[in-house]
Amino acid sequence: MKIALLGYGKMGKTIEQIALSRGHAIVLKIDKHITDYDITKADVAIDFSVPSAAVGNLSKALNNNVPVISGTTGWLKDYDDIIRLCKERDGAFIYASNFSIGVNVFFELNKQLAKMMSNLDKYKVNLQEIHHTQKLDAPSGTAITLAEGIIDNSNYKNWSLDKGDSETIQIEAKRIEDVPGTHIVSYDSNVDTIEIKHTAKNREGFALGAVIAAEWIIGKTGVFTMKDVLNIG
């Protein structure tokens, strides 16, 4: 499989290592805001770029009938436009705020716990995410996905970085030097706390999930998620 890496930072380099170890070829390495490249060399594109470059990268891939995997966060105001383009071009697209297999299991645990807690009004939900200081967006895309999973399965209606109440989930975002990505969902009452937590040990879990998604999407058309790739939930 010939892969275009759209974004060649730390994650792109880790994806490259894993893809090569699985017998794939890297035919393009596009860094930052380079826009003049031939995407048709690739069988599939994997985008881990920056928010300002993501939409252009995704559009180029879809307009040239190249399936594309996106792990870039911070561009979702344009998500509906990309989905529309994918359908118009009969393309193939997967976006995930987090491609880690473990995190996607965590997403499903979060939804199930939210359902179980939805009628227990003595408990207040708290959501915390911790990342290294180089992560630009806050809250993390993973934290937003977790919040949305709670909202879809409870009486909460929205999320906020500022403060929470009976209808709003507060997401506490921390940026600390050299810490692994950590996400904690807790339900707190006057008598106890119920907590689920995911801590990433390195980038390899995210990178492997992205490569597995790229392998899976070849030959398919449509808009998919990691639930489809992993057959969970």
- What is the rounded CA–CA span in Å between residue 135 and residue 50? 10
User: Is 135 one of the annotated active-site residues of the chain?
Assistant: yes
Q: Does the N-terminal peptide bond of residue 51 adopt cis geometry, omega within 30 degrees of 0?
A: no
**Residue 82 host element (H or E):** helix 79-88
The Cα 34–Cα 93 span in angstroms is 21
Active site residue 174: no
Q: Give me the catalytic one of 131, 157, 183, 198.
A: 131
- Of the residues 13, 29, 115, 135, only one is catalytic, namely 135
Q: Residue 27 belongs to what H/E stretch?
A: strand 25-30
- The upper half-sphere exposure of residue 132, i.e. CA atoms within 13 Å in the direction of its Cβ, equals 9
Find out whether 102 and 110 touch, Cβ atoms under 8 Å: no
Edge-first strand listing for the sheet containing 92-95: 25-30, 2-6, 44-47, 68-70, 92-95, 222-224
CB atoms within 10 A of CB 120: 10
Residue written as token pair 């645990």: 109
For 100-166, give the DSSP string. Answer: -HHHHHHHHHHHHHHHHHTT-TT-EEEEEEEE-TT--SSS-HHHHHHHHHHHTTSS--EEESS---S
The residues carrying an active-site annotation are 131, 135
